[in-house]
């Protein structure tokens, strides 16, 4: 899929939960994730999510899983939620074979549009594993800034993966939308 063949964006329903899990796992874990540049395989083993967690996110008010499809095939997803008076962006995954073609940029732009226009939000927040310097730089090029705020990695909770190192933590990134009040 090229960015010229613009994806169709839609909100996931509970019937999409298994497909979302397969996409997220392929982008973040194991050998399939190594085909793209967004893998966490060197940092974490185990699962990234499961169908029950995805279904719960879909069912939560002011929360949605945004899908990017082309020709009925799922190529990307992300989770959006309204938290702490801002949009929260997470669980972002693009099929490793499609990475580098502009789909991620298009998905992020659509997610920001939803928060700005549909939810009337003035900012977007996300947390990224601090050791993911290349990914943080990608977000910085799209207007996100490092806040210097951190939260600990949930060691011992295998729902978030099995850490391969003991120094993981999340850093909060923030983007203020044009015209937003500080």
Q: What is the mean pLDDT of each run of 10 residues along the chain (182 residues)?
A: 69 96 78 50 62 93 95 93 94 87 93 96 94 90 96 78 78 88 50
Per-residue pLDDT, 143 = 97
CA distance 60 to 54: 10
Distance separating alpha carbons of residues 96 and 99, to the nearest angstrom: 5
Burial 140-150 (b: 16+ CB within 10 A, else e): eeeebeeeeee
Residue 50: what pLDDT? 85
**Segment 48-66, tens digit of pLDDT:** 678 899 999 999 999 999 9
What does the pLDDT read at residue 38? Answer: 55
Q: What is the pLDDT of residue 116?
A: 96
List, in order of start, the domains of the chain with CATH numbers.
3-176 (3.40.630.30)
Q: Is 91 exposed, middle or buried (0-12, 13-18, 19+ CB in 10 A)?
A: buried
- Neighbouring CB atoms inside 10 A of 155's CB total 11
- Output the pLDDT for position 165: 73
Task: Provide the pLDDT for residue 1.
Answer: 46
pLDDT of the residue at 107: 95
């Amino acid at each position: 899929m090229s960015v010229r063949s613009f994806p169709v964006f839609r909100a996931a329903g509970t019937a999409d939960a298994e497909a979302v899990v397969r996409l997220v796992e392929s982008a973040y874990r194991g050998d399939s994730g190594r085909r793209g540049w967004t893998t966490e395989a060197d940092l974490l083993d185990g699962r990234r999510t499961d169908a029950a967690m995805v279904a719960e996110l879909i069912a939560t008010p002011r929360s949605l899983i945004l899908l990017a499809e082309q020709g009925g095939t799922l190529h990307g997803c992300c989770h959006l939620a309204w938290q702490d008076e801002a949009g929260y962006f997470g669980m972002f995954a693009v099929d490793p074979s499609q990475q580098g073609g502009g789909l991620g940029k298009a998905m992020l732009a659509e997610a920001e549009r939803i928060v700005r226009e549909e939810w009337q939000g003035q900012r977007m927040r996300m947390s990224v594993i601090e050791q993911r310097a290349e990914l943080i730089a990608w977000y910085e090029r799209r207007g996100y800034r490092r806040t210097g705020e951190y939260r600990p990695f949930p060691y011992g909770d295998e729902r978030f993966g099995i850490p391969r190192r003991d120094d993981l933590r999340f850093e909060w990134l923030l983007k203020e939308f044009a015209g937003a009040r500080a």
